[in-house]
Amino acid sequence: MITTLQTFDYIVLLGLLIFLIVASMYSSFKKKDSEEYFMAGRSLRWWSVAGSIFGTNIHAQQIIGMMGVGYSVGFAQSHYEVWAVVAILVLVYVFIPIYRKRNFFTLSQFLEKRYNSNTRLAYMVVMIAFIMIQLVGGFYIGSRTLGLLFAGSPYEITYFQGILIIAVVTVIFSVFGGMESVVIADNILTVVMIVAVLIIGTLTYMQPEIGGFSGLLKIDHAGANKMHLFLPTNHKDLPWLGIFTGLTILNFFYWTTNQYQVQRVLAAKTERDAKLGAIASGFLKLIIPFFSIAVGTAAYYIFRIRFGENVVKPDDTFMTLLKVVVPSGLGLKGLVLAGLICAIFSAIYSMMNSVSTMMAFDVYKKHINAHASDRQTVRFGQIFVCIMVGVAIILAMITFDPNSSDNFFLKIAKQTSYIKPGLVIVFFCGILWKKTNPIAAVIVLLGSPLIGLFCDLLYEGWLVNFSFVKATFGENFNFLYRVFSITFLGSIIIIILSKILNKKNTHISGESLELMGSLKDIQTAVLRFSLIHIPLITLGYNGIFTPQLLAIPAIIFTFLLFIWYFKHSKEEYILWESDIFYAGLLTSSMVGILYYFA
């Protein structure tokens, strides 16, 4: 067996998995109405919100995929975690007040309030397509990992058998447990996953080839220079300009318009619990750059010395590290594997819970049986989950190669980059511009993939022939640039169509959203933030001070900006009890990382 488990490792592994199953499924025996089944009775406290968000977000695709990208590309992958803080702040101070004021079950209900029922249906269709892509990818990476786990043992499993195991567990949790079970499982596996990545990360840094995190920085500085956050604008995977354009939009999608992530804050007991939970999940995400992505970079140097160049495939980095750096017989391998196995299932059954919610309320109660009982509503959602899992099994078998050497995380990101921008456009235009027309919204929402294909053809068929364009953006059209291009063109299209349709007296919108006061505050905060950091960035860019030295004033000034904002707010809490205080700490941490590793 690749993991060379011993008796105590098996005891720890099985004990943790049994505890997870028993603790999370206990709630399934309680009788639930539809709100309890789909929204956990809207009773989640901030720590449960944080644990569930993190458990849903940091799944096997993240742990294995990000470590693999850290191994092959480098620390620049950390932008997916660090730069997400911006989107979390937008969720907290723009979207949470809107969503929670109306007690929505699904974000498509928000779109119906803002636009019309057609927009609601279009969102549901697009999200189901997105979740299907994620589900198929989850089956692939999960089965591949289980195959490596049991390779060479009497319990060796095939790729198909691994998919079936994951599918069965997914159906059991999603169908019988409901959201309360999902949240309990998310919180348990969040603790297990954090402990697991801390163990494997610490032991990796302790290897003689590395000599600690500081040793990694020294080795990297003298070697491949993988520990820098900002790669050239023409980099094929993670160009820095794409980070601040396309990745920003992807983060907005994930944190503000994504049903299975936002459903956690919708289920919070109070708005304060929702805000603090989202902010706390941001702090948890900042663990990943240093104990997953940078660990993958350290693995690059370890494997190169021990095995030679390109012997280990990127997506096998985690399992290979588990074999070579984690000792057997102490229970540590069992603990790490428990975290990994939990991560395999976490996002999958979280997504399925959201799928059942959307199908129950956006299809069944909306279009089939408006007077359905709670039991009928829940049952319809459960049946659709089973159907979707069955389709995903077939697609996982025919669309993925279990022996692939590609970076799985980047592959999935590229596949979904055609879908996400349309969702962001429709949500943000709906909030920022009251004249956005519902027909225009549906056209852009469903037409986003076509706009993306047009951008691909335009770049690869014409623009790339210009030497300046090719030198700046690369020979191939990076998916982050595609995301920004879709958003830019889609925004122009939705504005033009809205003006044309509105002149024809077409229905403009459903419910008006009054945000002018909060938007003015946000604009002021962004302006002050820019006035602080533009001079510092200029000093660093011109080489007057090192980015590491500039990180100190950047952190201090950023935090003081939030203190100023708190003093001018109408907060009823004292400073250290306020969400603004913790948002300031989170943003300052983000800023410090961006400066230090520039």
Q: Mind listing the pLDDT tens digit of every residue in the chain (598 residues)? A: 445 667 788 788 788 778 777 766 665 555 555 666 666 567 789 998 998 888 878 776 677 778 888 898 889 989 999 999 999 999 999 899 888 887 777 888 889 888 988 898 899 888 888 888 888 888 887 888 777 777 776 778 888 888 898 888 777 776 766 667 777 777 887 888 888 889 999 999 999 999 999 999 988 777 777 888 999 999 988 899 999 999 999 999 999 998 888 888 888 889 999 999 999 999 999 999 998 899 999 999 999 889 888 778 887 888 888 888 988 878 888 888 877 777 777 777 777 877 888 888 888 888 888 888 878 888 888 888 889 999 999 998 888 877 766 666 667 777 788 999 999 999 999 888 888 999 999 999 999 999 999 999 999 999 999 999 999 998 889 999 999 999 999 999 999 999 999 887 655 555 555 554 466 777 788 888 999 999 999 999 898 999 999 999 999 999 999 998 888 777 777 888 889 999 999 999 999 999 999 8
pLDDT score, position 1: 43
Residues in the chain: 598
pLDDT score, position 590: 97
DSSP state of 225: -
Query: Is residue 376 within 8 Å of 236, Cβ to Cβ?
Result: no
CA–CA dist 490, 495 (Å, integer): 9
pLDDT score, position 406: 62
pLDDT score, position 35: 63
Q: Which residue has the tokens 């025919």?
A: 398
CA–CA dist 160, 395 (Å, integer): 11
Query: Is residue 435 within 8 Å of 268, Cβ to Cβ?
Result: no
CA–CA dist 15, 529 (Å, integer): 49
pLDDT, tens digit, 9 for 90 and up, residues 81-114: 999 999 999 999 989 988 888 777 788 888 988 8
CA–CA dist 106, 91 (Å, integer): 15
pLDDT, tens digit, 9 for 90 and up, residues 14-70: 887 787 777 666 655 555 556 666 665 677 899 989 988 888 787 766 777 788 888
Query: Is residue 27 within 8 Å of 178, Cβ to Cβ?
Result: yes
At residue 208, φ and ψ (nearest 5 deg) are -60, -25
pLDDT score, position 523: 77
pLDDT score, position 354: 79
Q: Which residue has the tokens 């750059």?
A: 289
**Cβ contacts of residue 516 below 8 Å, gap of 6+?**
none
DSSP state of 315: G
Structural tokens at position 539 = 């000093």
**Cβ contacts of residue 19 below 8 Å, gap of 6+?**
188
Name the residue among 412, 431, 423 with its Cα closest to residue 447: 423
pLDDT score, position 90: 93
Query: Is residue 174 within 8 Å of 94, Cβ to Cβ?
Result: no
Structural tokens at position 298 = 């350290």
pLDDT, tens digit, 9 for 90 and up, residues 345-397: 777 777 787 788 888 888 888 888 888 887 888 888 888 888 999 999 999 88
pLDDT score, position 539: 94
CA–CA dist 295, 200 (Å, integer): 8
Angle between helices 317-325 and 60-72 (to 10 degrees): 80
Amino acid, res. 79: H
How far does CA 552 lie from the centroid of its chain? 29
Handedness of CA 465, 467, 472, 474 (dihedral sign): positive
DSSP state of 327: P
CA–CA dist 380, 398 (Å, integer): 28
Query: Is residue 136 within 8 Å of 400, Cβ to Cβ?
Result: yes
CA distances from 373 to 124, 249, 364, 377 (A): 22, 39, 11, 6
Residue 533: how many other CB atoms lie within 10 Å: 18
Q: Which residue has the tokens 């289980």?
A: 146
Share of the chain above pLDDT 70, in %: 90
pLDDT score, position 516: 43
Produce one character per residue of 579-593: b if its CB has 16 or more CB atoms within 10 Å, e if not: bbbbbbbbbbbbbbb
CA–CA dist 581, 272 (Å, integer): 13
Handedness of CA 193, 198, 199, 200 (dihedral sign): positive
At residue 359, φ and ψ (nearest 5 deg) are -65, -35
Residue 525: how many other CB atoms lie within 10 Å: 16
Produce one character per residue of 537-565: b if its CB has 16 or more CB atoms within 10 Å, e if not: bebbeeeeeebeebbebbbebbbebbeeb
Name the residue among 127, 131, 492, 425 with its Cα closest to residue 252: 425
pLDDT score, position 230: 92
Residue 259: how many other CB atoms lie within 10 Å: 24
CA–CA dist 209, 220 (Å, integer): 12
Query: Is residue 129 within 8 Å of 121, Cβ to Cβ?
Result: no
pLDDT score, position 2: 47
pTM: 0.88
pLDDT score, position 234: 92
CA distances from 124 to 26, 102, 287 (A): 31, 19, 33
CA–CA dist 449, 223 (Å, integer): 40
pLDDT score, position 505: 65
CA–CA dist 120, 100 (Å, integer): 18
CA distances from 202 to 67, 85, 205, 295 (A): 14, 25, 5, 9
pLDDT score, position 352: 81
